Amino acid sequence: MRAMVMDRFGGPEVLHMGEIERPKATPGNVVIRVAYASVNPADWKCVDGWLSQYFEYKFPFVVGFDAAGVIAEVGEGVTNFKVGDRVVTSSNLGIGERGSYAEYLRSDVARVAKLADSVDFKTAAAIPTAAITSYEGLYDVFRIKAGQTILINGGAGGCGSYAILFAKNTGARVAATCGPANLDYVRGLGADLAINYRSENVLNAVKAWAAEGVDFVLDTVGQGTLKDGLKMLKKGGTLGFIATLIKDEPLFDPEEAKTLGVNLAFVMSSHERSGRQLTEIVDLYNKGKLKAPALEVLPLDQAGEAQRRVKDGHVRGKILLKVADI
């Protein structure tokens, strides 16, 4: 099969089109013929070798966590999926198997969800990593409810876009930061307040909108971009920061949180919860309750270019790789 492979760690230039053996279904797993794969910041961190602390890579390696397509083969013991089912998966990459920048990939059924015919493969492939992580933050960590307030730092990115969509779907009030080119985009996702982080004082803007502070802050950007984040919370509120894995990045100060009477929480997608979360998110899409974030498509052989764009840090919504016409 065709796949964008890497034979060593490095920058996006190490990705090249190659021919490798098609995966076979094993017990509890399915093989999926991929229509679209989506590109996440974790992918370039994987190519750089940063994720080798989590799993062992065997070269030639294929990156890419997310894919949507059709089941091509089912492994022994799999009863809930059949050949031809339209599905989305967060793949077996997190356990060191080859990922989604390929014509076929193998996935544990625990990380596969069935798509309604109304959900197209592009919309589906964008979901897993970004949406699961925001879902983890909003529902498993914050337990956000209708009427509560949240500031989302990085509202135009993958995680940020899904966080706005989820929070509004729950009936929360949402403020989000973004650059000037994304103000309308973020409002279009449903944000009640869009804050231009380049020209506005974010703390003042939040306090003018929610005088006592907000219930939650979700920082999807990190790297010290939200230095007053803890001060934006009302007493008892929680700031969740998504693990960026960027080395030596400035972190929020637990002592400051204690002094202010607010909570600090780490947000990271978890193997234990991600399968259940993917199913719940896909169910919302299957029922037509959520729209897709902005989606941009590049051909599979431009995976390196897609990773350069993501690494640059200003993609709107999600970039997808088109693998096959299915």
Residues contributing to the site for ligand NAP (CB under 6 A): 40-42, 129-130, 133, 153-154, 156-160, 177-179, 182, 197, 220-221, 225, 242-244, 268-269, 310, 313-316
Write down the least CB distance from residue 249 to ligand NAP, Å: 9
Write down the least CB distance from residue 54 to ligand NAP, Å: 10
Could you tell me if 223 and 200 are in contact, meaning their C-beta atoms sit under 8 angstroms apart?
Answer: no
Write down the least CB distance from residue 128 to ligand NAP, Å: 10
d(CA 157, CA 153): 9
Write down the least CB distance from residue 123 to ligand NAP, Å: 16
Write down the least CB distance from residue 145 to ligand NAP, Å: 23
Minimal CA–CA distance to 125: which of 302, 292, 246, 309? 292
Q: What residue ranges in 145-192 does DSSP mark as E strands?
A: 149-153, 173-178
Could you tell me if 131 and 169 are in contact, meaning their C-beta atoms sit under 8 angstroms apart?
Answer: no
d(CA 240, CA 228): 13
Write down the least CB distance from residue 298 to ligand NAP, Å: 14
Nearer to ligand NAP by Cβ, of 85 and 200: the residue is 200
Nearer to ligand NAP by Cβ, of 1 and 294: the residue is 294
Nearer to ligand NAP by Cβ, of 23 and 160: the residue is 160
Nearer to ligand NAP by Cβ, of 116 and 243: the residue is 243
Could you tell me if 321 and 38 are in contact, meaning their C-beta atoms sit under 8 angstroms apart?
Answer: yes
Write down the least CB distance from residue 35 to ligand NAP, Å: 21
d(CA 33, CA 106): 9
Could you tell me if 217 and 226 are in contact, meaning their C-beta atoms sit under 8 angstroms apart?
Answer: yes
Task: Point out the residue whose Cβ comes nearest to ligand NAP.
Answer: 157
Nearer to ligand NAP by Cβ, of 6 and 221: the residue is 221
Q: Cβ-count burial of 251 within 10 angstroms (0-12 exposed, 13-18 middle, 19+ buried)?
A: exposed
d(CA 20, CA 197): 45
Nearer to ligand NAP by Cβ, of 242 and 323: the residue is 242
Nearer to ligand NAP by Cβ, of 82 and 227: the residue is 227
Could you tell me if 153 and 217 are in contact, meaning their C-beta atoms sit under 8 angstroms apart?
Answer: yes
